[in-house]
Structures are given as structure tokens and as C-alpha cells.
Structure 1
Amino acid sequence: MSAAVSPCIADAGFSTLLAALFPVGVSVKVTDPRQPQPAPFAEEAVAVSRATAVRQREFAAGRAAAHAAMQGLGVAPQPVPHGPDRAPRWPQGLCGSISHCDRVCIAVLGATRTLHSLGVDVEPDEALPGDLLSEVTCLEERAWLSAQPEQLRGRLARLIFSAKEAAYKCQYPVSGAMIGFEDLVITPDLDTGQFEATLLRSVPSFAEGHCFHGRFLVCDGVIVTAVSLSRGPRWSMRDIG
């Protein structure tokens, strides 16, 4: 996977690489879910009051990253509670996304005056389990995978999974639509670290065939995918179905 680089996720260089996945002005912060983190706001913590200790640690790390991202924008930390759909409810004027795996939590945050929405996903740089391949990928994606080096196919399938997760997170605040793996087709460009996520059905605000543009990073054992919708000519009313 030629988009791979090798700084440690604990280094400042990792955050710099992540920031390059998003438009200028997006605040990107990273925390370690294996380390103690500040307690979430009470309005946030209620979402995991009955969860396992591991899940509570991951949640606290994600919210700590979100609060740090607010500070990166010059905004005082505020609660990010779950909505009825369990999606984060961002403070007025902000949009963002949170993702975690067992090694890292990532929060990205931007201002709604310049952005419609953001989506980020982080996954271990490991092969997607074979029994998930047909659930996650379509025929076109499996044809693309079959043309890649055999030793990379499982990890590239994981990249496709992650790209669909990031695209879903980015479209959901705009459309309110629950879409499945079968509703997106991912076209990765391994040389540039970019991908396209194309909708295979219409949802509110997006016509069938709408293409979300994303970027990805393979770094120190993780895959990170990012999708953003900026306010401007790249995404305008003529794209709406």
C-alpha cells in the first residue's frame, strides 16, 4: 500500500499527517485509549454509564480528543452528547467526527461556516476477516481487489471498509439516511492516497451517483480514512438530487 508512512502514532508528526487529510482550518486531535484521560462531561458520560470499562475508556479518550479539537479552534470545551441515533451532537456552529481503535482515538472538528460535515475512521492495518468480504464489498470492488497483489488484498479490503465508514459518517449529518455497505462503491487510488465513494442510490440531499472524495493514510499499524464536505464550488446545490 504505497500511501504508507512510518512515524509513531504517539508523535506530533502523526497529527500533522492526519491534518493533511482534511481542508485547512480543520482541527485534528489524537488521544491514546490505553492511557488515563480526563473524565467526560456528565451529559456525555450518561451514554456509557452501563458500558464495560474498556468501552468507557475508549469513550473518554474520544471525548478528550473532541474537547482538545475545540481548543484547537479557539473554542472552550463543551459537551458532545449522543443523540437518539447515538451520533455525536456537536455544539452549534461546529461539525465533526470521532473514531477509535484499540490504539488510538481521533477527533476532527471544523466550523459550519466553511464545512457541511466531516467523517473520519481509523482501523487496524490488518486483513478484513474473510467472512465479512461479501458483506462489505460489491462485485466491482472485489474485481479491483483480485487485480491487487495477493498479500495485500485483505488489508485493502479493510481500507474499503474504512472508506465506507468515513463516507457514511460524513453524509449522515446532511442526509439523515442510514445507508449500508451495499449503497457505496469505493475506488481507491493507492498512488495518491485518495479514494472516491460513489452512492449507488439516492438519499436526501444526494443523488444516486454522487461522489464523495476522500483521502487515506496507512501509518504505524493503522488505516485512517477521511471525507469532508466543504461549503463552496466542490459541493453545491446542483449536486443535490
Structure 2
Amino acid sequence: MFSPTRTFDAPPFIRRAESGYMRHQPALAYCLVEYDRAHYSDELFQRFSQPLPAVLANAVAKRRAEYLASRYCGQVLLEQAQAASTVIGTDDRVPQWPAGWRGSISHSDKYALVVVAPEPTGLMPGIDIEQWQPEIMLETADMFASPDEQKLLSALTLPYPQALLTLFSAKESLYKSQWPEVRRYFDFQAAKVTHVDEAEQRFTLTLTETLTPELKCGTVFSGSYAFLSDAVITCIG
């Protein structure tokens, strides 16, 4: 999934970071960091030249840390691309990208991940990272996977809980990718997985309902997935 071109860090908060481009979509740049919440402090916003938004005024340290780690990822990518601004704004918890750019953000308790692409590429990126939670996936599978999807996933060589988490993440990536067009909530049943290529670590999602005049029932989206030691990442470009 990833083709890294640079590794770096910013200790002690940023333990490790890498940036590069997506193997199946080279126009899509990414930055992935592993951060240490124990070393977070509000002073890091100034160190990384990022504003501390009013929306975080009453947020706990965990929320501030994951927000800063993800904004740091975006800053790295926008600086590498020599964008006019390296600040990603926030409007009602939705990232607001600098003019001429599109992107997507995801984070967990220890990882932050951002992908960006210039608007002229026409890409609508969506990225998601989920840490392992096999018991929860098995308990909640019916909430996000139809019987047909569960049958397809159970036929894969992937451990079933891992396959479920990948599907869950893929649908989250689709939601993030299409939010700028749809601008309303749509649930997990709005799309279904119709193909998984384990060799290439690729998946196909097909809409099961019409979301906009352009996004009709039957519209197909392709994406990639990858595994970390304790997480799954999915991306739709």
C-alpha cells in the first residue's frame, strides 16, 4: 500500500514517522506517525506551528494529542508539496484543507495518518486506521456487514475478525472520501464489499443506495488495505 520515501521523528512526542506516496495511486501522498501520548503538552502546538483551536478548549489531553499528531502529519505533507498554507482548519469537526488541496485524516491511540492530493487530480481521498479489537468485531459484525458480506469474508484466508475489521475500516474510508460530495450521514448499509484481492491487498465496495445524483446505486469504489502489527489501514483514492 505504501511507498515510503522518507523516515524521521520529532522526539519525544513523535516517536517515528514516514512519508511517501500510495503504491496504487502515486498522486496521493501520505504521512504516518507513531506518537507517544505520555509526552504530549500544549506547548507542542507552538513547537509545530499549529494553532490550538477553540473547539479543543475543554478537550482532554488524549483528544488534544491525537489532534496535534494528525495536524503534524498534514503539515509535513503540505510543506513537502510547498503548499501556500500548512494549517488544516476545522469546521464542525471536519478538516478544512488549504485552497487547492484535498485530504483525509485518521488517528488512533498511538497512530496518526494523513493523505493529501492536489485538487486537479480529481481524487477524493479517504483514509482510516483501526486498532485490533477482534472480540468487538465478532460481537458487532451484524451492524456493519450483511450476511452476504460475512460469507465473502469468511472465505478469505485472513482470520475472520481481521477481515471484519478491514471491512469496517474500508466503509469508514468510503464515508470520509465521499463526505465532501454527500454532506450528510450515510450508514454502513449504503455500500457492500463485492471483491477482495488478498494478493494485491485491494478491495471493491459497491453502493447499495443512491447517495447523490452522481453517486448512484451500483457505483463502484476501489481501495487498498495494509496491516501494522496492531492495526489495519484502508484507503480509497
Instruction: Tell me the TM-score normalized by structure 1.
Output: 0.80
1:220-231 counterparts in 2 under 5 A?
220-228=229-237
| Structure 1 residue 20 corresponds to structure 2 residue 7 | no
The number of equivalent residue pairs is: 216
1:1-241 counterparts in 2 under 5 A?
15-16=19-20, 19-21=21-23, 23-34=25-36, 35-36=39-40, 38-39=44-45, 41-42=50-51, 45-84=53-92, 86-127=93-134, 129=136, 130-148=138-156, 152-186=159-193, 187-204=195-212, 205-228=214-237
Indicate the RMSD between aligned Cα atoms, in angstroms. 2.5
Whether contact under 8 Å (1:94, 1:112) holds in the other structure is: yes
User: How far is the alpha carbon of 1:32 from its aligned partner?
Assistant: 2.7
Instruction: Tell me the TM-score normalized by structure 2.
Output: 0.82
Cα distance in 1 for residues equivalent to 2:58 and 2:23: 35
User: How far is the alpha carbon of 1:26 from its aligned partner?
Assistant: 2.3
Q: Structure 2, unaligned stretches of length 5 or more? A: 2-6, 9-14
Whether contact under 8 Å (2:16, 2:33) holds in the other structure is: no
Cα distance in 2 for residues equivalent to 1:199 and 1:47: 34
Cα distance in 2 for residues equivalent to 1:70 and 1:22: 21
Q: Which amino acid aligns with 2:172?
A: E
Q: Which amino acid aligns with 1:216?
A: Y
Whether contact under 8 Å (2:225, 2:234) holds in the other structure is: yes
Structure 2 counterpart SS, 1:88? strand
Cα distance in 2 for residues equivalent to 1:11 and 1:55: 20
Higher strand share: 2
Q: Which amino acid aligns with 2:139?
A: D
What is the percent sequence identity of the aligned residues? 22
For CA contacts below 8 A with separation 6 or more, give which structure has more relative contact order.
Answer: 1
User: How far is the alpha carbon of 1:128 from its aligned partner?
Assistant: 5.6
Change (3 A) 1:67 1:11: closer
